[in-house]
Amino acid sequence: MSQEDTFKKIISHAKEYGFIFQSSEIYDGLSAVYDYGQLGAELKNNIKSYWWKSMVMLHENIVGIDSAIFMHPTVWKASGHVDAFNDPLIDNKDSKKRYRADVLIEDYIQKIEAKIDKEITKAQKRFGDSFDEKQFRETNPRVQANQKKIDDVLLRFKTAMENDDLAEVKKIIEDAEIACPVSGSRNWTDVRQFNLMFDTKLGSVNDDASTIYLRPETAQGIFVNYLNVQKSGRLNLPFGIAQIGKAFRNEIVARQFIFRMREFEQMEMQYFIQPGTEKKWFETWKEKRMKWHKALGNDESNLKFHDHDKLAHYANAATDIEFKFPFGFKELEGIHSRTDFDLGQHQKFSGKKIQYFDNERNESYVPYVLETSIGLDRMFLAVLSASYKEETIEKEDGKKDQRVVLAIPPALAPIQLAVLPLVKKDGLPDKAREIINTLKFDFNCHYEEKDSIGRRYRRQDAIGTPYAITVDHETLENNTVTIRDRDTMEQNRVKIEELPEILRSKVSLNSLLKKLEN
């Protein structure tokens, strides 16, 4: 199955089972805005808890806040977003479609990369075990020519962006003969800068002074509260402030499902540190964040760091944690050493002193900041795409069958336990409900009595429920049930009274959080 097909399947699976719906679908939808359905909301909440607890509960010196979406407009002047939060956009005159110039170039590069990959796969087959990919890349003329094309375009684009040379960006698109995917033409407008912030008016006075923005990142809510939190919490450096909340960006090209949305959620943590210690903390947080991802049992080859060559105006070191989405490796999380840029800017624009008195050093200074910033929706997509599996299985009668299973890490699964009476009679439903009534305070349980037991198992597999118990006639005799494991499909008979312990050891967030401590 091609990667594109897998991605399409994941999207329709997410809709079919109530994870994600297009926003306002009955009105034909709103582009790049999505709603989380009944199972999606559960999964999203579990990811949030995992992140929040790993930050706030596991670190004595990290606290969490919840700041407002609306902020004073000067915040965005100070942060640089009013002047510099732009994307280069270009329109195709025939299709009237708008694109991000950098994305067009990125897609062009990806196509060439795909050609290189094809050559490599072909050669791998031909040479078998003796194949040396590095040597092949360095010597094969076709691969070399394609790699040169990529390097040339990347260098030209990087230089053009650094020099703010939008005419050159257009020229790159023309020289690469990039055509509009819709009209197929190369009839492009000039490239312009486009600010990504949504604005709106505060109150009833419709003048410039009342223009406010929907925050494009949650981080600024943390910076402007730095002093409040530090003083009221009597916190000493280093300490962190974490926050989960909505952010809004008027993305020019919104595509790839929930990867790039116009309304999305971020989980950000700003770690305030002594100037000069930023390299150490950068390494520490890189390691900690990667550990957080790997604790989910993610295939290690799905994750990698990508260090930035071109740093944002506020950063002196930056890396992305990239995840192998169905459409390739893309940014999932950013880790940035932001120096004293943000607090310094707010100090300047507000005229208020934003400093820390360091008893050890006996001096005051503006703290440095190390940031970790992850998109909740992107994390959701990462979990969903890593867990989607189509399997051929053998039934008891020896026949083959297909199943779709979401192998979601048990601690994040929307439903943790399905309770299934074998038949709808003989008191089995009552017994099943009795079991749920004792477990529902600790676990998200789901009762289902419709259809054959086999079909019910399939449905639970498809929504990622890690355990299903079946209540049968033997249950009434000796208070035992069969418990079925989603991944192995093995069934064991256990005592009802053992269920809380079994579940706790396998599906609780604690088991996941403990992995972070080792």
Nearer to ligand ATP, 217 or 448 (CB): 217
In the numeric block, which tokens belong to residue 225?
């509260």
Can residue 332 be called a binding residue for ligand ATP (CB under 6 A)? yes
What's the 3-state SS for 17-36?
Answer: CCCEEECCHHHCCCCCCEEE
Q: Rounded to 5 degrees, what are φ and ψ at 437?
A: -60, -25
DSSP state of 393: E
Q: Which of 76, 99, 226, 264 binds ligand ATP (CB under 6 A)?
A: 264
Question: Which 12-71 positions form the footprint of ligand ATP (CB under 6 A)?
Answer: none
Nearest CA to 78 out of 262, 306, 340, 363 is that of 340
**Token pair in block for residue 57:** 């509960």
Closest CB to ligand ATP among residues 333, 342: 333
Q: Which is nearer to ligand ATP, 143 or 332 (CB)?
A: 332
**Part of the chain binding ligand ATP (CB under 6 A), chosen from 36-44, 373-381, 426-434, 478-486:** 373-381
Q: Provide DSSP, 99-156.
A: EEHHHHHHHHHHHHHHHHHHHHHHHHHHHGGG--HHHHHHH-HHHHHHHHHHHHHHHH
Only segment of 346-354, 372-380, 420-428, 496-504 that touches ligand ATP (CB under 6 A):
372-380
Residue range at the interface with ligand ATP (CB under 6 A); choices 45-53, 94-102, 256-264, 409-417 = 256-264
Window contacting ligand ATP (CB under 6 A); options: 1-9, 115-123, 133-141, 330-338: 330-338
The whole-angstrom separation of Cα 408 and Cα 388 is 8
User: CB of 321: closest distance to ligand ATP in angstroms?
Assistant: 8
Q: Which token pair is 271?
A: 């770690």
Q: Which stretch binds ligand ATP (CB under 6 A): 37-45, 77-85, 332-340, 495-503?
A: 332-340
For 55-102, give the DSSP string.
Answer: IIIT-TTEEEE---SB--HHHHHHTTHHHH-EEEEEEBTTT--EEEHH
Burial of residue 489, with CB atoms counted within 10 A of its CB: 0-12 exposed, 13-18 middle, 19 or more buried: middle
Which CA distances in Å does 319 have to 316, 331, 348?
Answer: 11, 9, 28
Least distance (Å) between residue 86 CB and ligand ATP: 11
Residue showing the smallest CB distance to ligand ATP in the complex: 375
Minimum CB distance to ligand ATP smaller for 251 or for 342: 251
Q: How many CB atoms lie within 10 A of CB 514?
A: 12
The stretch near ligand ATP (CB under 6 A) out of 285-293, 298-306, 368-376, 490-498 is 368-376
Task: Indicate the residue among 218 and 480 with the shorter CB distance to ligand ATP.
Answer: 218
Q: Identify the residue among 78, 109, 178, 261 touching ligand ATP (CB under 6 A).
A: 261
- C-beta of 10 vs 445, nearer to ligand ATP: 10
Binding map of ligand ATP across residues 226-255, x = CB under 6 A, - = no contact: -----------------------x-x----
Q: Which is nearer to ligand ATP, 334 or 466 (CB)?
A: 334
Q: Between residues 178 and 247, which has the closer beta carbon with respect to ligand ATP?
A: 247
In the complex, least distance from residue 67 CB atom to ligand ATP, rounded to whole angstroms: 16
Cβ neighbours of residue 199 closer than 8 Å, sequence gap 6 or more: 211, 212, 213, 214
Which helix H or strand E contains 385, and what residues bound it? helix 376-387
CA distances from 34 to 10, 29, 37, 48, 256 (A): 15, 9, 10, 18, 12
| Contact (CB, 8 A) for 302 and 323 | yes
The number of residues that bind ligand ATP (CB under 6 A) is 16
Question: CB of 297: closest distance to ligand ATP in angstroms?
Answer: 20
Query: Among residue numbers 189 through 228, which ones bind ligand ATP (CB under 6 A)?
Result: 217
**Least CB distance to ligand ATP at residue 399 (A):** 43
CA dist., res. 199 & res. 37, Å (int): 28
Amino acid at 318: A
Q: How far is the CB of 310 from ligand ATP (least distance, A)?
A: 11
Q: How far is the CB of 354 from ligand ATP (least distance, A)?
A: 22
Taking the complex as a whole, the smallest distance from the CB of residue 146 to ligand ATP amounts, in Å, to: 24
d(CA 31, CA 261): 8
Rg of the chain's alpha carbons, rounded to an integer?
A: 26
**Cβ proximity of 347 and 373 under 8 Å:** no
The residue among 100 and 431 lying less far from ligand ATP, judged by its C-beta, is 100
331 binds ligand ATP (CB under 6 A): yes
Supply the minimum distance, in Å, between the C-beta of residue 286 and ligand ATP. 14
Hey, what are 374's tokens? 């992850």
Contact with ligand ATP (CB under 6 A) among 260, 338, 446, 459? 260
Distance CA(423)–CA(405), nearest Å, equals: 24
| Count of CB atoms situated within 10 Å of the CB of 469 | 27
What x/- string results for residues 374 through 393 when contact with ligand ATP is judged by CB under 6 A?
xx-xx---------------
Query: Cβ 137 to ligand ATP, closest distance in Å?
Result: 27
Instruction: Give the binding site for ligand ATP (CB under 6 A).
Output: 217, 249, 251, 260-261, 264, 266, 331-334, 373-375, 377-378
